[in-house]
Chain A
Amino acid sequence: MSLLEVKDLEVYYGVIQALKGISFHVERGEIVALIGANGAGKTTTLHTLSGLIKPKAGTITYQGQDITKTPGYKIVGMGMAQVPEGRRVFPDLSVMDNLKLGAYTRKDKAEFADTVKLVFTRFPRLQERKNQMAGTLSGGEQQMLAMGRALMSHPSLILMDEPSMGLSPLLVNEIFDIIEQINKDGTTVLLVEQNAKKALTIANRAYVLETGKIVMEGKAEDLLNNREIQKAYLGE
């Protein structure tokens, strides 16, 4: 049984069809990349998985449970967290309060303290700035906070939407290293990226999304070596 199984997913914004029946699956322990150009439907896919948008047709099965109609606020409690595009940290709350909100669905206080410790070990800069308002952090720090916040909910699957967006090359490398680390620690990752090269380098498998359809899929290394992909997405 796949950890996540998406079948024939169709999403509309009014009359415009954003997803035209996409199917894909994510297995436990994988890093799966979803690559594609602007407007291909990558973010729409993640928003639909997290229940922020309701699909018109198709099914989403997570850990064997049909979550197609599950309200968005219940998804994170089921073990699927998202690091949204543009970080979306709560700017007028402190770093610590952002992390607390990340653990909103967790009841155990002792667990919270342990998880915060873990997040601070992974992102030492967050610890240095734990009392600072999130809105005053740099872009890279906000990205780290968004990732740390998602980890606070102890997800089995973490959805990452353009984690490298707007970051310097050095920081991009750091963020991708961290994603690999998170995966090694046992969290499955579904990664949406415009930086296809980076994404394919760390992913096990990948899907290529074009105007709402999956046009190609396969092992990440195969896609890296595919001529068409190289031309269209890797700028080679």
Chain B
Amino acid sequence: MLSFLNYLISGISLGSIYAIIALGYTMVYGIAKMLNFAHGDFIMVGGYAIFTCMITLGMNPFVSILIAMAVCLVIGVTTEKVAYKPLREAGSPLAVLITAIGVSYLLENLALLIFGSNPKSFTSVVSWSGITLAGGQLHIQGVTIVTILVSLAVLVVLQWFVHKTKEGQAMLAVAQDRGAATLMGINVNHTISLTFAIGSALAAIAGALLCSAYPTLTPYTGAMPGIKAFVAAVLGGIGSIPGAMIGGIVLGIIEILARTYISSQLSDAIVFGILVVVLLVKPTGILGKNIQEKV
């Protein structure tokens, strides 16, 4: 029973990381109407940025994360402006999608060029060792607790931002009707840039947490979690912020439990099997709404 609880907690923790990544996916999809398949690689970019600041340059972990967020933000917004925006304005969603895959390879190969293919061993950004419960039988690592708390904080802040601020309302307006949003005086390109900025900065946070929990960093570190977070976003209902959170956590729990009780080799197959089932049974996801609208 205690070991199950332990696995459940690590599932929630892994799921929280997926959730933070999925938030970026889902916001960009909801507002820019594109799947940014390079999103996962921003985790890796964030990871290397933190690695460089914290381990190579010996900076404070918190400051390192802030710098990594800034780096990801700048690269994310630049990618959108240079690679996606011209194609979006040319009205070609498929070209944008393919370009996103291209950007993904570009980032991975740039990392390969700069940092080499040898895995870097990462030091956790959380130095707290955690808590021990049930008379020493249940130990919860500090990074696990911090991960869960950070993802909850991100969710609360994002929900507040989207529903209570003017810029957030502009995002919702752009997501629902770009033309009408323009008529309200909203600069759609500015809003899309802001969305990429938030998504990319969140990816840096996810990078910090992921590399702290699984402390090896390679140029491909972000690819798999990125794809899984995409599954999480679809599972929760793509475009929905609480949906990304729920989808991420559900997926994390399923992955850890499948790895423990079924097979560690099959766990990924099970995760992607879920994507297939969701697409077949409820294509709009757990919190996704039906697209039928009154005209």
On whether the beta carbons of A76 and B185 are closer than 8 Å, the reply is yes
B contacts with A, residue count (CB < 8 A): 21
Q: How far is the CA of A71 from the CA of B185 in the complex (A)?
A: 10
Residue of A with least CB distance to B163: A97
Q: For A72, what are the chain B residues with a Cβ–Cβ distance below 8 Å?
A: 182-183
Separation in Å of the A11 CB from the closest CB of chain B?
A: 16
Q: How far is the CA of A182 from the CA of B176 in the complex (A)?
A: 28
On whether the beta carbons of A86 and B185 are closer than 8 Å, the reply is no
| CB-based A-B contact count at 8 angstroms | 69
Cβ-based interface call for A82 (8 A): yes
Cβ-based interface call for A77 (8 A): yes
On whether the beta carbons of B188 and A97 are closer than 8 Å, the reply is no
Q: How far is the CA of A205 from the CA of B283 in the complex (A)?
A: 52
> Which of A22-30, A60-68, A100-108, A170-178 is found at the contact surface with chain B?
A100-108
0/1 interface trace, chain B 166-200, chain A, CB 8 Å (1 if under): 10011011001101111111111000000000000
Q: Which 3 pairs from chain A and chain B are nearest by CB?
A: A105-B185, A88-B180, A76-B185
CB contacts under 8 Å to A, within B257-292, are 289
Contact of B172 among A51, A74, A81, A92 (CB under 8 A): A92
A contacts with B, residue count (CB < 8 A): 29
Q: A73-B187, A74-B185, A135-B294 are in contact. Are A97 and B179 (CB under 8 A)?
A: no
CB contacts under 8 Å to B, within A87-144, are 88-93, 97, 100-102, 104-105, 135
On whether the beta carbons of A76 and B176 are closer than 8 Å, the reply is no
Q: For B294, what are the chain A residues with a Cβ–Cβ distance below 8 Å?
A: 91, 135
Cβ-based interface call for A52 (8 A): yes
0/1 interface trace, chain A 185-213, chain B, CB 8 Å (1 if under): 00000000000000000000000000000
Separation in Å of the B188 CB from the closest CB of chain A?
A: 7
On whether the beta carbons of B182 and A52 are closer than 8 Å, the reply is yes
Q: A93-B173, A100-B169 are in contact. Are A88 and B179 (CB under 8 A)?
A: yes
On whether the beta carbons of A101 and B173 are closer than 8 Å, the reply is yes
Cβ-based interface call for A41 (8 A): no
Cβ-based interface call for A45 (8 A): no
Cβ-based interface call for B295 (8 A): yes
Separation in Å of the B249 CB from the closest CB of chain A?
A: 24
On whether the beta carbons of B186 and A90 are closer than 8 Å, the reply is no
On whether the beta carbons of A101 and B184 are closer than 8 Å, the reply is yes
Residue of B with least CB distance to A137: B294
Q: For B172, what are the chain A residues with a Cβ–Cβ distance below 8 Å?
A: 90, 92-93, 97
Q: For B173, what are the chain A residues with a Cβ–Cβ distance below 8 Å?
A: 90, 93, 101
Cβ-based interface call for A153 (8 A): yes
Q: How far is the CA of A50 from the CA of B181 in the complex (A)?
A: 12
Cβ-based interface call for A84 (8 A): yes
On whether the beta carbons of A82 and B169 are closer than 8 Å, the reply is no
Separation in Å of the B88 CB from the closest CB of chain A?
A: 16
Separation in Å of the B282 CB from the closest CB of chain A?
A: 19
Q: How far is the CA of A73 from the CA of B169 in the complex (A)?
A: 15
On whether the beta carbons of A91 and B170 are closer than 8 Å, the reply is no
Q: A101-B173, A104-B170 are in contact. Are A73 and B293 (CB under 8 A)?
A: no
Q: How far is the CA of A72 from the CA of B190 in the complex (A)?
A: 13
12 A-B pairs with C-beta separation under 8 A:
A72-B182, A73-B186, A73-B187, A76-B183, A76-B184, A90-B172, A92-B176, A93-B176, A100-B169, A101-B184, A104-B170, A104-B186
On whether the beta carbons of A153 and B176 are closer than 8 Å, the reply is no
On whether the beta carbons of A73 and B179 are closer than 8 Å, the reply is no
Separation in Å of the B67 CB from the closest CB of chain A?
A: 33
Contact of B293 among A50, A91, A149 (CB under 8 A): A91
CB contacts under 8 Å to A, within B140-177, are 166, 169-170, 172-173, 176-177
0/1 interface trace, chain A 32-74, chain B, CB 8 Å (1 if under): 0000000000000000001110000000000000000001111
B182, B188, B293, B295 interface centre (most CB from chain A within 10 Å): B182
Q: For A91, what are the chain B residues with a Cβ–Cβ distance below 8 Å?
A: 176, 293-294
On whether the beta carbons of A97 and B169 are closer than 8 Å, the reply is yes
